[in-house]
Structure 1
Amino acid sequence: MNLKNLGLGLLAALLLASCRNDDDGILPGSTVPPRDLDEVALENDADIREFLQTHFYNYEEFDNPPAGFDYQIRIDTLAGDNADKTPLIEQMQTEIIQITPEQVGVDQDLGNVAHTLYYLSVRDGVGVSPTIGDSVLVRYQGSYLDGRSFDANPNFQWQELPFFLRGYQEAMKHFSSGTLGSLVVNPDGTSEIDDRGVGLLILPSGLGYFSDTSTGIIAYSPLIFRVDLGLVVEDTDSDGDGIPNIMEDLNNNGYLYDDNTDEAQELQAFTAILRPNFLDTDDDSDGRPTREEIEIDAQGNITFPDSDGDGTPDYLDRDS
């Protein structure tokens, strides 16, 4: 299973009117309407908070690393000899992220639904923190709240964060990376980054796969990720138009797929998935590439000419 949440996958979620719920025993091939986003958000948060109140991680090893410690997060229950450990609920940090039903493929008449993302940087790296638009070199483990693993990559791999789960990309900006100077490639082809950051994140299904089971993930499941953040490529430009992804978040909502300034209004709901600005080399569809409608100086600074002085820069203005 690949945790990548590509635009095509999101498109499928928007276009399909229903999907099966393996967790509720729906047979393969059967269809049921997606559940209400607000209802699932409340249930997921209650389940996550119960988990955080009854579990802890190996914080003592991170505070005082023993010889040969691998800096891997291990989670266990607060019971027996571990009953006096500090529960995760007292250590995790939170961020509220607003999600619309449309973003998860739900036809529901309500506005934004608040979702709580839980995250914890258990080890700070010495490098930088990514934005939601950047590329990162990471390795990760994914599991359900009951401990079952659904995905893992023991080796570092590159990810462009805009193509990944909303909660995953949002949490990554709270972690810091290692540095290229500490990168070691082992004889077997694996690699290690000694000064990497290490983080834990738990996201409700509205920030994950929600009702989509095409990846093998159980519908409406909160997810846990343990992440080693190795390196960051800042100002990633996925479409190569000269504008970093993060600068193409025109409404500043942390979601790059609803920023689409193509003129064909009747197609925006469709092209917002296939060709949002960060994946569009001609952001206003005027036939002139975006790269030709902006100016970049020798230091990499970008300016946005407005030829007709109407307040809209040329690269977003079909009439300029």
Structure 2
Amino acid sequence: MNIKKYIFAIALIVIAISACKKDDDVEATIVPPRDRAEQQVTDHALIEEYLKTHFYTLEDVDVNGDGTIEYQITKFDTIAGDNIGQQPIMDSELLTSKKITREDVEYTLFILGLKDGVGEHKPTFADSTLITFRGELFYGDDKLFDSAVNPSWFDLGGGVIDGFRQSMLDFKGAAPNPIINPDGSVTYSGFGELVVFIPSGLAYFADAREGVPSYSSLIFNIQLYDVNECDHDRDGIPSYLEDLDGDELVLDTGDDTDSDTVPNYVDTDDDGDGTQTKDEITVNDLNGDGFITLDEITFYDDDGDGIKNHLDPDDIDSKNE
């Protein structure tokens, strides 16, 4: 045996064991999330200060460079120097606020309602919306972190932050029958336009995203063109009507009747009784507009216990055979 190789091998093993032991001895440092109530106080103060010290202007956007202005984006600047006489955003008659409670903390959204749409429908918290948008930080050298310059569909029921979702609920989309251009692009008129100022508790909170540090309050400039009422599981009940606990969230455990970890809005059998939800109700779109309202759904309670059939595993008879 080559004694040098043997000694070298033993040395490597000792070093490896030593290194592993050091790793085991080092305790991982886990930083707990900040207190939500305390963070909201900080965020609220930051947003109010920003609104008091900044003004906005509107800038035309020509997406295709063809001379057609598709929409306008909102640009912000500090009230100072040559801008000293500008009106603070806080003093704008277009600015409103909205209170939202999450995890026992009351948050305030500030919404600059530049223009309401002329369309017929406002989105609910579980609908799909056709929008363009810009997302940016309040401060920093590179504030822009996300945008959609061409109209894109976004599902408000899941996959968007709470403040983004809630900001659009009081706005309507564009006029019907938009113009289809020769190049395939679409020109909308009379669409809704808004800017929302979101505290971190209604955004990503402790989670960081690309371009978004933890505990960042965010600004979104949104143009709303169209609304589709969503029935994610196609059971006949619009998704917003499957929010059983009334918190305007459809992804939480309070909206899972049979506790199968599948929320009702994506569960084809809400009560898990083997009869699909669509067969335990009757739906009639009376005005044929493609939007189902509560008065267009017939619910049943066969055993008279006050629980609707589609939420009661004791009632299994199909109503649509």
- Percent of aligned positions that are identical: 36
Contact 2:59–2:73 at 8 Å: present in 1 too? no
Rounded to whole Å, the distance in 1 between the matches of 2:178 and 2:170 is 21
Secondary structure of 2:32's counterpart equals coil
Secondary structure of 1:58's counterpart equals strand
Q: 2:125 maps to what in 1?
A: 132
- Higher RCO (CA-CA < 8 Å; seq separation 6+): 1
- Does 2:219 correspond to 1:224? yes
Equivalences for residues 17-36 of structure 1 within 5 A = 31-36=30-35
Secondary structure of 1:179's counterpart equals coil
- Does 2:300 correspond to 1:305? yes
Q: 1:156 maps to what in 2?
A: 151
Equivalences for residues 253-292 of structure 1 within 5 A = 253-258=247-252, 259-264=254-259, 271=261, 275-292=262-279
Instruction: State the AA in 2 paired with 1:176.
Output: K
Equivalences for residues 141-152 of structure 1 within 5 A = 141-146=134-139, 148-152=143-147
- How far off its partner does 1:90 sit? 1.7
- Does 2:113 correspond to 1:121? yes
TM-score normalised by the chain length of structure 1: 0.77
Q: 2:65 maps to what in 1?
A: none
- How far off its partner does 1:146 sit? 1.1
- Does 2:175 correspond to 1:179? yes
- How far off its partner does 1:261 sit? 3.6
Rounded to whole Å, the distance in 1 between the matches of 2:29 and 2:266 is 34
Indicate the structure (1 or 2) with the bigger Cα radius of gyration.
2
- How far off its partner does 1:179 sit? 2.5
Give structure 1 regions of 4+ aligned residues with deviation exceeding 6 angstroms: none
Equivalences for residues 18-97 of structure 1 within 5 A = 31-58=30-57, 70-91=71-92, 92-97=95-100
Q: 2:237 maps to what in 1?
A: 243
CA-to-aligned-CA distance 1:3-33 (integer Å, 9 cap, x gap) = xxxxxxxxxxxxxxxxxxxxxxxxxx97421
Distance change in 2, residues 1:185/1:204 (3 Å): farther
Rounded to whole Å, the distance in 1 between the matches of 2:146 and 2:202 is 17
Rounded to whole Å, the distance in 1 between the matches of 2:112 and 2:171 is 8
Rounded to whole Å, the distance in 1 between the matches of 2:90 and 2:250 is 31
Rounded to whole Å, the distance in 2 between the matches of 1:171 and 1:214 is 21
Secondary structure of 2:205's counterpart equals coil
Distance change in 2, residues 1:246/1:183 (3 Å): farther
Instruction: State the AA in 1 paired with 2:243.
Output: D
CA-to-aligned-CA distance 1:139-159 (integer Å, 9 cap, x gap) = 100000016011011010011
CA-to-aligned-CA distance 1:203-260 (integer Å, 9 cap, x gap) = 1111111112255521110000000111111x31111111001111122221222332
Instruction: State the AA in 1 paired with 2:225.
Output: G
Distance change in 2, residues 1:263/1:78 (3 Å): same
Q: 2:10 maps to what in 1?
A: none
CA-to-aligned-CA distance 1:79-107 (integer Å, 9 cap, x gap) = 1222111111123211110001xxxxxxx
TM-score normalised by the chain length of structure 2: 0.77
Equivalences for residues 187-226 of structure 1 within 5 A = 187=183, 189-214=184-209, 217-226=212-221
Distance change in 2, residues 1:222/1:186 (3 Å): farther
Contact 1:122–1:199 at 8 Å: present in 2 too? yes
Rounded to whole Å, the distance in 2 between the matches of 1:298 and 1:95 is 32
Distance change in 2, residues 1:58/1:293 (3 Å): same
Contact 1:204–1:221 at 8 Å: present in 2 too? yes
- How far off its partner does 1:192 sit? 3.0
Unaligned regions of 5+ residues in structure 1, if any?
1-28, 62-66, 101-111
- How far off its partner does 1:116 sit? 0.5
